Amino acid sequence: MFDVVIIGAGFSGLQAAYTAQQAGLSVAVIEARDRVGGKVWSVPLASGRGCVELGAAWINDSLQPRIWAYAERFGLKVVKQRLEGRAVMQENPEARFEFPFGITPDFTPEEKRNLEYIRDHIQAESLKPGLPSVEDDDVSLDQYVRRLGALPQTIKMVNLWAQVMHGVESTEESAAWFIDYCRRNRGLLAIRADDSSGGQYMRFQDGAQSVANRIASLIGESNIHLSSPVVSIQNDKSYVSITTADGRAFTARKCILSIPSTMYRELNISPQLSQPVQAVTNGTVLGDYNKAIVCYDRPWWRDHGFNGYFASYSGPVILARDTSVDERRHFSLTCFVNGERGREWSKLYPHERRAVVLKQIAKIFKADENSEAFRPIEVFDQIWKHERFSRGALAPITKLGHLTRYDSVYGKPVGNLHFVGTEYSPEWKGYMEGALCSGEIGAQEVISAIRKGQAAKL
């Protein structure tokens, strides 16, 4: 019998296993995929110039201590997000304008004042401690900003925030969930920032999955069981029994579930989770969060003074960044195709998905049909809804009203079951840092419970 079995070898599961192991507990990690990392997935380029990040990519060296400690411990090189040059805003398929990166786009004075008012209001709310109000949880983010007097341009921008940050429309998440997400991430401005004040400051030269692989090595390969989907969990009074699809059985004092709450319903958990826990977890959804990564032989967009960043109301790409690693001669644009635009784009054939992305990139950067925009050396796309063991990204979003109604049970232990994941993190929710934080907390819950049980027996 193990002290603890961890289901899921994403960042939160790996951290939970490592923390428990360091405390002297015996651990086993069960992972459905044939790799570790979860929604962190770095894929090598055929050109040999490095890798692309199909999942999580960005970190901050001063604001995210856990992930940065691993970067230093493992000696991993990072690259800062490139900001030099002009950004582009696409208002519709035929209208675009350029602006200096880092400032409010050049809307009319009235539109700019309105947008900054709504932005500053949400920023102020996101810096308050505690859970948002029940009233804000019962309305969508779209309704919330309309009640604040948002003008059409501001409504579109707020919807873009929801698409970029969560893969949903502003009508599909509660204002409270959005504000709470910002509160756990040092405020709205920190989430949106690409400089040292925010979450999109640095990337790993050799891919974020290198961190997952190194943590797995610390835990020990013999303690990690890949390609082992779990089919049933028996949560008894004094132990937990887990059975995998290939018929293997694991028994432990405690079990840590490190998968999105949206997927709990797919596990045969006995006895069933309580009605309140089922209500909140059955109500969570994962966003349509997709990437198209276009790799070029050189960063041709910089020749024209662009930094590679653009945002779009019309899509299909709603936001893009330059994700090049110049030292490796790897030059790429990472395009996010999220929310409703992502849902429609994901239904296209692969060649159609590629074609519309390249056409939009060319239009954004004013490139003609003979431009290098249409001559990438490699193209990747990742649709997280199609991933059997992810079903979307980033963090599960609670149903309107559920965040506050079920706060007392959401993510809390049930018998010998404990729950971790970036969705539960009190800081940097939705980021790798948040996953590590939640994994630490979940492991400490298990360590305390086991030690308390041992003391009681003595």
The 3-state DSSP class for residue 93 equals: coil
Q: What span, in angstroms and rounded, lies between the C-alpha atoms of 383 and 378? A: 17
Our measurement of the distance from residue 89's CA atom to the centroid of its chain's CA atoms, rounded to an integer in Å, reads: 24
Q: Does the annotation place 174 within a ligand binding site?
A: no
Can you tell me the distance from the alpha carbon of 200 to that of 216, in angstroms, rounded to the nearest whole number? Answer: 25
How far is C-alpha 249 from the geometric centre of its chain's CA atoms?
31
- Residue 152, preceding peptide bond in cis (omega within 30° of 0): no
For residue 167, what are the CA distances in angstroms to 53, 97, 109, 316, 327? 17, 24, 30, 13, 32
12 is in an annotated binding site: yes
The amino acid present at 216, given as its one-letter code, is A
Compute the distance between CA of residue 90 and CA of residue 276 in angstroms, rounded to an integer.
44
Residue 32 assigned as binding residue: yes
383 pairs with which residues across the strands?
Answer: 290
- Token pair belonging to 230: 């779990």
Scanning the structure block, which residue is given the tokens 């770095």?
Answer: 42
User: Within a 10 A sphere around the Cβ of 350, how many other Cβ atoms?
Assistant: 9
Q: Omega into 394 within 30° of 0, i.e. cis?
A: yes
Strand, coil or helix: what is 204? strand
Is 332 annotated to bind a ligand? Reply is: no
d(CA 339, CA 1): 44
Identify any residues that bridge with 99 across adjacent strands, giving them in sequence order. 87
Binding-site residues for substrate: 336
Binding-site residues: 12, 31-32, 230, 336, 423
Binding-site residues for FAD: 12, 31-32, 230, 423
